[in-house]
């Protein structure tokens, strides 16, 4: 059987990873500043992570949510503590789209409304409601277009007020920092205004922190730069450092009700052990506190590179906007400089999402390699 071909592939076969480095089958080393779409938070194959997974799979890999699971309990307690969201409760699932799907469903149950507001350039995943609130017509099938969704521009409080005052909106879903859409971010004034409008009009505020969360922005969650308190927070990607896991953090105003949400695999022992070890590494190595320094170091080297129009994003979720399309540059970075970077729906933006424990030497290597290519080709 052949694979159902949905991804354009780089001609690289990776067989090994260590920290911020990955290796192909001939032993060639690559610097991974993208982490396969922002998944690698603590580096590839961190020893503590590998050990935790090994230990758990030898003890008990899986049982369903019909029995008490102490690994789930340890995970939710640590996540609450490290994120500063101890009063929330946690629903566990398997991916980002599934986390958003459940958050949207919960908001609809909670308000008894069905309309959702999302934003231009949003990306929330590919399942039914998650893709319906994603601003990309090409990946919305006719089935997905049946959801009642309104897309508004980011940072337009006037439009938001007009829409929410109809009092028929179940939820507003917004990314802490837009990732796939090109590293756009709401202002503090906007986030605060949005929070007030949601409260006034009985609308649930969902913060999608799937890409911007888990320390990547320099705080545990990106919304924490703006001093707001969302009703629901969705997480995935860096949470499992490659092991599939996602979750919804749920504010105390939501009453749990048996059978409302559910999953077979979500919150299984193995996934929780992996996610717990990620938090232990984040805590022990003080990774969130280190992000700002790494970020400043890198931005300093990037902003004056030839052809760079601006540096977007925060922390270790950064984008370089050029005055040309970057697909060719990304390809040359992989094949000639042995460095993985990412793109976005803005073809002129090169996006990087390195592990939070990337070194300054590795970031300097990236800046120097980019400089060499840019000087050669575009100056
Ligand atoms: C902000 C955001 N939300 C949701 C998703 C979907 O996550 P997953 O691919 O795990 O379903 C993504 C994936 O890129 C994302 O960036």
- Strand-pairing partners, residue 246, are 93
pLDDT digits (tens, 9 = 90+) for 76-95: 999 999 999 999 999 999 99
pLDDT digits (tens, 9 = 90+) for 23-34: 999 999 999 999
At 9 the pLDDT is: 87
pLDDT digits (tens, 9 = 90+) for 260-291: 999 999 999 999 999 999 999 999 999 999 99
Atom 4, ligand 1: residue with shortest CA distance: 124
Residue 323's Cβ-count burial label (10 Å; 0-12, 13-18, 19+) is: exposed
At 379 the pLDDT is: 45
Residue 130 CA: nearest ligand 1 atom is 4
- Where residue 256 falls among pLDDT bands split at 50, 70, 90? confident
Q: Kindly list the protein residues whose Cβ atom lies closer than 6 A to any atom of ligand 1.
A: 37, 95-97, 100, 123-125, 175, 179-180, 208, 210-211, 236
- 36, 41, 97, 243, best to mutate for ligand 1 pocket (most atoms within 8 Å of CB): 97
What does the pLDDT average to over 164-187?
Answer: 98
User: How many beta carbons lie within 10 A of that of residue 56, not counting itself?
Assistant: 21
- Where residue 377 falls among pLDDT bands split at 50, 70, 90? low
pTM for this predicted structure: 0.98
DSSP alpha helices (H): ranges in the chain?
35-38, 47-59, 70-83, 96-111, 128-132, 157-164, 188-201, 269-284, 287-302, 327-335, 360-378
pLDDT digits (tens, 9 = 90+) for 329-361: 999 999 999 999 999 999 999 999 999 999 999
Does the domain spanning 47-284 belong to CATH 3.40.640.10?
A: yes
CATH class of 14-46+289-378: alpha beta
Q: Where are the domains of the chain?
A: 14-46+289-378, 47-284
pLDDT, averaged across the chain: 97
pLDDT digits (tens, 9 = 90+) for 130-158: 999 999 999 999 999 999 999 999 999 99
């Amino acid at each position: 059987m052949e694979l159902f071909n949905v991804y354009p592939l780089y001609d690289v076969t990776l067989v090994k990873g260590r920290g911020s480095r990955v290796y192909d089958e001939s032993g060639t080393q690559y610097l991974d500043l993208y982490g396969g779409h922002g998944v690698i938070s603590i580096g590839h194959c961190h020893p503590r992570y590998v050990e935790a997974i090994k230990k758990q799979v030898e003890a008990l890999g899986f049982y369903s949510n019909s029995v008490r699971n102490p690994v789930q309990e340890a995970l939710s307690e640590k996540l609450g503590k490290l994120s500063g969201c101890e009063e929330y409760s946690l629903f566990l699932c398997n991916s980002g789209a599934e986390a958003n799907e459940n958050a949207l469903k919960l908001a609809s149950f909670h308000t008894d409304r069905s309309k959702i507001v999302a934003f231009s350039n949003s990306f929330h995943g590919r399942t039914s409601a998650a893709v319906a609130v994603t601003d990309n017509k090409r990946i919305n099938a006719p089935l997905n277009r049946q959801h009642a969704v309104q897309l508004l521009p980011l940072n337009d409080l006037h439009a938001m007020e007009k829409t929410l005052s109809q009092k028929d909106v179940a939820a507003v879903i917004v990314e802490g920092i837009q990732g796939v859409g090109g590293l756009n971010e709401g202002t503090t004034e906007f986030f605060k205004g949005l929070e007030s409008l949601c409260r006034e009009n009985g609308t649930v505020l969902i913060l999608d922190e799937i890409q911007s969360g888990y320390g990547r922005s320099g705080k545990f969650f990106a919304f924490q730069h703006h001093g707001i308190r969302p009703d629901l927070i969705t997480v995935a990607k860096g949470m499992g450092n490659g092991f599939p896991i996602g979750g919804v953090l749920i504010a105390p105003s939501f009453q749990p009700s048996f059978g409302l949400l559910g999953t077979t695999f979500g919150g299984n022992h193995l996934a929780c052990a992996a996610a717990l070890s990620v938090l232990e590494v984040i805590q022990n190595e003080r990774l969130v506190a280190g992000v700002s320094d790494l970020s400043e170091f890198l931005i300093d080297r990037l902003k004056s590179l030839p052809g760079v129009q601006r540096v977007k994003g925060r922390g270790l979720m950064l984008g370089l906007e050029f005055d040309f399309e970057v697909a060719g540059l990304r390809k040359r970075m992989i094949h000639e400089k042995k460095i993985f970077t990412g793109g976005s729906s803005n073809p002129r933006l090169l996006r990087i999402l390195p592990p939070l424990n990337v070194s300054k030497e590795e970031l300097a290597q990236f800046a120097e390699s980019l400089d060499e290519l840019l000087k050669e080709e575009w100056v």
